[in-house]
Amino acid sequence: MFIVTKRMTIAASHKLDLSYDSPCANLHGHNWVIEVTVASDNLNLSGMVVDFAALKDFVFRLDHIYLNKVFDKTNPTAENIAVWIFSRLQTIIEGASNKPKVTKVTVQESEGNIACYIP
Alpha helices, H only, the chain: 52-59, 67-71, 78-93
Q: pTM of the entire structure?
A: 0.93
**DSSP labels for 7-68?**
EEEEEEEE----SS--GGGS-EEEEEEEEEEEEESS--TTS-SS-HHHHHHHHGGGTTSBHH
pLDDT for residue 97: 85
Q: Domains of the chain: which residue ranges?
A: 2-117
pLDDT for residue 17: 94
- Among 3.40.190.10, 3.40.605.10, 3.30.479.10, 3.40.50.10420, name the CATH number for the domain at 2-117: 3.30.479.10
Q: How confident is the model at residue 14 (pLDDT cuts 50, 70, 90)?
A: very high
Higher-confidence residue: 97 or 28?
A: 28
pLDDT tens for 43-97 read 999 999 999 999 999 999 999 999 999 998 899 999 999 999 999 999 988 888 8
pLDDT for residue 94: 82
State mean pLDDT over 1-11.
98
pLDDT for residue 63: 98
Q: How confident is the model at residue 33 (pLDDT cuts 50, 70, 90)?
A: very high
